[in-house]
Amino acid sequence: MVEMPTIGKRVRMVAEGPAGSTAHEGVVLPGAAQDHITVKLVNGYNVSYPIDCIKSIDEISDKEQKESVVEGIQQNEQLPKVTIIHTGGTIASKVDYETGAVIARFEPQELLSSVPEIMEIANIDAVKLGNMWSDDIRPQHWNQMIDACVEAFDSGSKGVVITHGTDTLHVSASALSFAFAGEGGRPAGRIVFTGSQRSSDRASSDATENLLSAVYWAANGPEVTGEGDTAVTIMHAGSGDGICAVSPGVGVRKMHSTRRDAFQMVNGERIGEITISRQGLTHTTTVGQQTRSVMAPTKYNTEVKIAQFIAGPHLHSDLLEAAVNAGYSAILIHGTGLGHLPIENPNGDAPENDKLAKYIATCPVPVVVANQCINGPIDLNVYSKGRHQQEIGVLGHGSTSSPEALLAKIHWAISNEKNLEVLSQNLCGENQKSLMN
């Protein structure tokens, strides 16, 4: 009888079952039952056998694993060149079979070998910026992505695909949109952000179709106009397979923690869709004519800090004051309704509202309001309270951006010494003015 292998090791085993002798290769999991060996296969499914049914089992060395990842990858240089810029996230994750936790550890080469179909779409280059969960990404990483995009375009890539964790994917996509198009220009090629809601070694993973679609758009999508399509996100359009949605990075938001179609538009429409079928990939698009010129991107000042608060019964002036004293450059408050804050005291029994209004009126840093409702505009002209907020200096009127896009826009504007009047302007597709008519 064979010995029980080490959990977490990759093995080759031959088992004798009702259908005869069967060979498997995969990663050893804790046994599904006593005296059983359970292995996770490369397709995401598990197989279990009683240990006395195992004819042979051999561990695969690290050297063998590495060679199996990279060997046989041949590129077609006649295809458009696309650079995959790898930052991490669930699309680049695996299960740690000793702890059961999902960890970020995929290498760019593993992405290529795990989805070989992308070699039929583009000539792939791969760059690794890190293996980060997206909630760990900071403005300095935005700057690294910007530099990596420029290097990719300079090397001849028609587009780039940034593999990114989904939780802040739309924030980074907004940041790169303003960097490349906030000044009125456009990037030299297509910038696509993609990720997955489920790790790539799960049978229900959305990683393969998302990555295929992202590479396809980067290689074959329409010319970038700089007006909503500067940096796009490509994720599943529905809970099923077969269609991925192409959305403007400045107009999309993650609306669900686990669904594969978690990314939905805010105050706008998708740019297009990509259909995956046995015949290949096809796309539709609403992108218009290209009118802007390619411009060098702007960057983000990593010394800029923006404090964020939620309007409601626990918003007090001392929070804003503490942020100012800590050196924050601006304050973004997620306001209720049309962008309202608790700054009035009609019954005379809420002095904290008076204190908040008084502090905002004298606040030495900009105070901006975002839309806590997500959809709909910030319109501070409808109610008297909104007009009062404008009188004491609250900014944000006329914005239809998601809170995340507005956050990136504030940071970009301060970094590049822009008047914050730009917050109500439409620089690169982030503000849908029709909502204010």
The catalytic site residues sit at 90, 166-167, 254
Report strand pairing: 81-86 vs 159-163: parallel
Rg of the chain over Cα atoms, rounded to whole angstroms, equals 25
Output the furthest CA–CA distance in the chain (Å, rounded): 84
Cα–Cα distance for residue pair 244/236, rounded to 1 Å: 4
Cβ proximity of 385 and 344 under 8 Å: yes
**Eight-class DSSP state of 79:** S
Give phi and psi for 67, each to the nearest 5.
Answer: -65, -35
Cβ proximity of 152 and 125 under 8 Å: yes
Sign of the Cα torsion 410, 416, 420, 423 reads negative
Sign of the Cα torsion 375, 223, 299, 128 reads positive
Burial of 58 (0-12, 13-18, 19+ CB in 10 A): middle
Cα–Cα distance for residue pair 6/4, rounded to 1 Å: 7
Cα–Cα distance for residue pair 248/246, rounded to 1 Å: 7
Residue 312 region by backbone torsions, left for phi larger than 0, else alpha for psi between -120 and 50, else beta: left
**Eight-class DSSP state of 61:** P
Query: Around Cβ 48, how many Cβ atoms within 10 Å?
Result: 14
**Eight-class DSSP state of 134:** G
Cα–Cα distance for residue pair 128/125, rounded to 1 Å: 10
Give residue 360's Cα distance to chain centre: 33
Scan for tokens 């995340």, then name that residue: 404
